[in-house]
């Protein structure tokens, strides 16, 4: 049966950019430097040890007046070097801190990408947020894009005081991207369909209606299974790689952040707030899956 597991993993392969789109080094004072990012952009790079023994790169984009921090898990065909513009725009327009990271085997992170390594990776990043920045669960929003929904729901199903979870073009499970099945096999990977039911905080689901990589049905089912549903965003005409280019994307996210701020101040209230103006965004590197 081990061959079956390997076969599934091969079809649901990770695609780290080769060569990586950035590098990290240390300056004369021993400070970690992330290529392509100037000091005035207020970003702090980290090199974190995981329980698997890998060293993963993480970047903390600080907003001076942030109420919340977003822990962003990206898709399977991008690395941090391609995400600068998106993080800068999200930080500015949502007024949040952004912590993101490269999975083992991505960018300048060591090791090899695998399902369980992504879990160890996000755990190391979460621990960094707690110890280095004093971020509490109540002020943390987990954001998972595409395959990043796997580590996001791994953490989201375990942390019971989270502020919120955002699922962007998320998957029900690895095999379900490839085949329409009703049961979860033991050798499946990223079993989000099971984990979403253990998430106790508000969940926002964003998915394109014309996603030809991860069908819209994945997003709709994840929303249906969420205990604390927030109004979903089904982006009309949106694909798998371009949701950030639609005005309603940032408009709905800002509305969601405002609602979470209101919820944190008056705990019983979960009513929506009015929408805020939109912005233009170039989408990040297209995320892909191997369909054979």
Q: Could you give the residue numbers annotated as active site?
A: 146, 211, 240
Question: Which of 288, 284, 244 has its CA nearest to residue 84?
Answer: 284
- Alpha-carbon distance 15 to 267, whole Å? 41
Q: Which two tokens stand for residue 53?
A: 């023994």
| CB-facing half-sphere around the CA of 198: CA atoms within 13 A | 14
What one-character DSSP code corresponds to residue 105?
T
Distance in Å from the first CA to the final CA of the chain? 20
Question: Residue 114, class by beta-carbon neighbours within 10 Å (0-12 exposed, 13-18 middle, 19+ buried)?
Answer: middle
DSSP labels, 107-168: TT--S---HHHHHHHHHHHHHHHHHHH---GGGEEEEEEGGGHHHHHHHHTT-TT-SEEEEE
Q: Which two tokens stand for residue 231?
A: 């109004």
- Alpha-carbon distance 63 to 95, whole Å? 6
What one-character DSSP code corresponds to residue 103?
P
User: Whose structure tokens read 């590098």?
Assistant: 23
What one-character DSSP code corresponds to residue 61?
E
Report how far Cα 86 is from the mean position of its chain's Cα atoms.
12
SS3 for 8?
helix
């Amino acid at each position: 049966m081990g061959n079956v597991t390997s076969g599934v993993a091969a079809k649901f392969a990770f695609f780290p950019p080769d060569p990586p789109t950035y590098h990290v080094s240390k300056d004369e004072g021993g400070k970690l430097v992330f290529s392509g990012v100037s000091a005035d952009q207020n970003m702090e790079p980290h090199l974190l040890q995981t329980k698997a023994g890998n060293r993963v790169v993480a970047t903390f984009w600080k907003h001076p007046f942030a109420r919340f921090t977003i822990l962003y898990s990206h898709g399977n065909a991008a690395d941090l070097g391609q995400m600068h513009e998106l993080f800068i725009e999200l930080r500015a327009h949502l007024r949040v801190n952004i912590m993101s990271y490269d999975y083992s085997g991505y960018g300048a992170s060591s090791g090899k990408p695998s399902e369980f390594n992504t879990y160890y990776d996000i755990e190391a990043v979460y621990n960094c947020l707690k110890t280095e920045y004093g971020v509490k669960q109540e002020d943390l929003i987990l954001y998972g894009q595409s395959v990043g929904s796997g580590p996001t729901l791994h953490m989201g199903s375990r942390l019971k005081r989270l502020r919120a979870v955002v699922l962007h073009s998320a998957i029900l499970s690895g095999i379900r991207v490839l085949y329409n099945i009703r049961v979860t096999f033991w050798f499946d990977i990223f079993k989000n369909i099971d984990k979403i039911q253990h998430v106790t905080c508000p969940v926002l689901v964003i998915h394109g209606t014309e996603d030809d990589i991860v069908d819209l049905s994945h997003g709709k089912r994840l929303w249906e299974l969420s205990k604390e549903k927030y109004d979903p965003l089904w982006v009309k005409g949106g694909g798998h790689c371009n949701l950030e280019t639609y005005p309603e994307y940032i408009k709905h996210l800002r509305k969601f952040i405002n609602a979470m701020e209101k919820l944190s101040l008056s705990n019983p209230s979960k009513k929506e707030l009015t929408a805020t103006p939109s912005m233009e965004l170039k989408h990040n590197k297209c995320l892909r899956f191997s369909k054979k």
